[in-house]
Each structure stands twice: as structure tokens, then as C-alpha cells.
Structure 1
């Protein structure tokens, strides 16, 4: 859960007790930092789907009247979690902070936000730009990469298969590491192997790469391959043309997995696409098929 939540915000901790609630369901607590729009963040986390299961997220109870929550929502929370917990949620979408307040302090939402933002006054709100961190690379890492090369593949997506092609050709002394959909890092096991390859096998390399050049710190591939799961597709729209259509706003559709193509199940389609940027795909929209509107959900598969 920690690995999944960290894609959505500054996760601090995740706790999943062994016991279950009165309804026999598992529950957990997650604590985030630097949350500026709690409602929006709650909605975002509440839509997370893991495999075929959707998690449900609720903000901590605090004093819900201060956030203008109605009685029905409080009742829904009680049904989900059985009983009131002596804990706080800091967060977004059901991210719970299970640090109980035993000092009689007021537990209003405003008080909790004020308490949890102490010491981070230099953090910039979301609408004022991205948060920055500063890091100095280790000299040993820079030295290792100094002799490496970067290859830009001829066709996007080929980067993940290049190592196999090198082995088939008998080049076992070159390590190929994909940097994204378009670039690979080429490292030699023994000094001089890369230079020899560039001189002796240029015509072979041209089959796979449009360019091969020395590694530079600025070289980053911002395009990646990812799998998404799509829910709500009607049977009569289960076609590659429809898959291509719904993937266009997020990237380029490549293909569907074997189970989707063979229609083993039609409750969820698993599609491979190419996309620029690191932003996670998680969206809901409506599709009009033969004049009928269908709600569709598309979410990135965290497990690839």
C-alpha cells in the first residue's frame, strides 16, 4: 500500500491492523503530509483500484460539522468502520493518522492542519509550482556512468527488447538498461568494448538505434510504457478501434493483453500504451456508443 500511495502524495506511514471491522472488512490507516486540498485528495485516493478491487477512503472524523458534512455521510462512515476510532486522519482520501490525542487537545480539522504543517512553512502550495528537492550525485556513480553511452531506439517501445537482441548477436559484454520507451543506457563490462562495438558493428546498431552518444547527466527519457485497466466497456465496443480511441487523451495505444484480445473476461480491459510524463493515469469519463452513454473508468496498473 505504501508503494501505491506514494504515487499520489507525500506518504509518511501506512498501518494495516490484523483485526477487521464489525462487517468483517479489512481497514487501515495512512498519513500524508503537505495536503492542501483535502476534499480533492480524498476523491483522488478513493478511486484507486488494485487488481480488480477498489479501496474505499474516508477522511478522519475530527469535527465533521466544520467541513459541512451531512448526517448521511457520518452514518456511512460508521457503517464502513463500525465504531468511532480514537485517531486522526491527516489527509486525503481515507488516509488515516492513527496517532491518538491523549492530552485533551481540540481535534478539529483546522487544529490538525495547523499542527501538522508546523515546520514545513517553506513548502509551496500545489497551485504555486512543484516542490523541489536538492541532491548531489555520488562521485562513484558519476565515474561509472562517465564511460557509458545512451542509445535512442529507432522505434518507441523497442528499448525493452534491446538486451535480448544483443545476446542473440553474441554481444554479452554490454549491459542494456531501458531508461524509458525511447532510450537505453549502454554500459560495458570491460573497458573498450563499447568503442569496439561502435566501430565494428555500426551497420547492425543502425537497425535498432537512430542515435548512440555518450551519456550526459541531462539525458532523461520522459516517455514510458504502461498498462492500464479500463472498466465499463460494453460488449459491442470491445474492439481495438475503441481501445485506440479511449487511449488517445493519455498517450498512444499499442496493444491489448492476451486475455483482453481473446475476451476471456469482459469486465475489464487491460491495455498497453505509451505516454509522456510521470503523471499516473486515473480518470473517469463517458463514452457514447451507438447513441447510448456509458460511464468508463481508466486507471494505471501499478503492477505493470
Structure 2
């Protein structure tokens, strides 16, 4: 029995064009459906997982047996239960409980609820965009993922369920998703941020990851290159993401010489970062031409960004060239 919280099942082996509206029509025959979700990711058979939650289930095993006999067109549906069987309250039940707790929660401080949280770190940004989906498919949809900027996320458990219990019980599962996952510490602070930068003035002959990395190095660390830049769909400017200090907004105007011709390149931080576009891929082009910076001027809106006045040694190929960095304003 689901005790009013809902019973979830995961399905596969559907026809590719079988969408959510079609699923509602089919599964309403077997019970009261509250949620349907279709994964963006493909499994090993190049099929999408589907998630259905039923309310008021009296006999879970009997329902699972009935669902295992469902055919869609010429395909027999494959059904599975979540790996983690603790279920979640309905939104109505949650709202009632929240009202009952309102007076108590007013007295809580952020420190108290943060003690129940965990901090996860990823080095591969592709994982950030897929975390919520991974938790749903893994049966842990009571854990909410909050992006903290940089490479960190906050894991917050809902209702009476605690993140600690799941992390300790399913350590290997979490280790596959995160480089590190640790309990919340009051001293924790995000010191880096990820920003998209638009680079203009760079000759097309130098549109390669080596060149982008050398430009990004004047401001921070290159993280990724935009898909439109990789595929040469957008030629107005180069767009890439860099990691810089959290208090730093950067505008950079830099000069470099190619075959004795002087070029001016500008790098400007975009005003906003699209969180759903966190990862788009990396450029895999090869360096075509040696280039050397001969003079730079940088304007820092706020923060130091780790660059000091004086000579900056820039390594390019077999040469090391001195670059004069001047702060303005």
C-alpha cells in the first residue's frame, strides 16, 4: 500500500513516437495516475525511460504484474520499480504538512536546515544538467538538487527523509555521479563562478581549442566551448565558458601579432549564464598558426582576478614572450 504518497514505476520499450498524452490514456486504465515523465537520455538500447506514478495503490505487486502484461502496438512494455522504495507524499499532503509546521519553521535558522544537506562536486559539467533526471530514474526524487555555481550543487532532502541515510546506504551510486560528496560545513563558500565570454576579433584561422585556451588564460581557466562555435554556426564571435573568481567581472582588450599583422581581440563577459546550457561540448580542432601576444590592456570592473601589474610571461609553442598588463580605473 502506498499510504497516499504514490507508487512509482519505470518503463521502457515504448515506440519512439509514443508521448506523454498517449501514456496518460493507456495507464489510466490501471489506476489513478498523478505524474508521467519521459527521460531525455537514452538507455543502452537507444530507448527512453518513462516514469509513471500511481495514487491509491492497494497491492503494489499485483499492479506491477498487471503492468508487465501491457503491449503498446507490437512492443511488450518492460516495467521496473525504483531502486530506492521510499515514496514521496502527494503535493496536497505536503501542503497540509507545511501549514502545520509553519510556526515551527519560522524559528529555524538557515544553519539548522543546512545541517541536513550535502555538497556534491562534479568535474564534468554534463553531469550537472542530468543530475535531477538521474535522481528521478534512481528512485531518489525526494532529494532536490540546487546549483551553487562553479562545480558544486546542494543536495536537500524533502519531507522526513534525510540525504545522509541514502548517501550512506547507496555510496557507490553517489560516487558514480559526484567527484566528492560531503556533509554541509558552515565554513563552505563558493569561491569560483562559471561565466560565458564572447571573444571578438579573433581570425577564423585561429579558431581552435589551443587558441581559445590561451585567450581564456588571461582571465581564468577555459571550461568549455559553445556548440555553435564548435560547428561554426555562429561566426560573429567566439563563445566559451571560463572559471574565474566569484567577485570578478572582466572585460579584456588584447593585441597579438600573426605573420607581422597586428590584431585586437576583445573578451566580454555575458550578463547572464543559462544554467540549462551548462554543458554543450568541447572544440577538438587543432592549432593552425603560432601567435604571440605583444601588448595587453585589461579593464576589471570588480575584483583582482589574480593578475598583477607588470610583466606577464605568456608561453606559446617554443617561445616565451613578455606581455605588459595594465589595469584601468
| TM-score normalised to structure 1 length | 0.50
Q: Which has the higher strand share?
A: 2
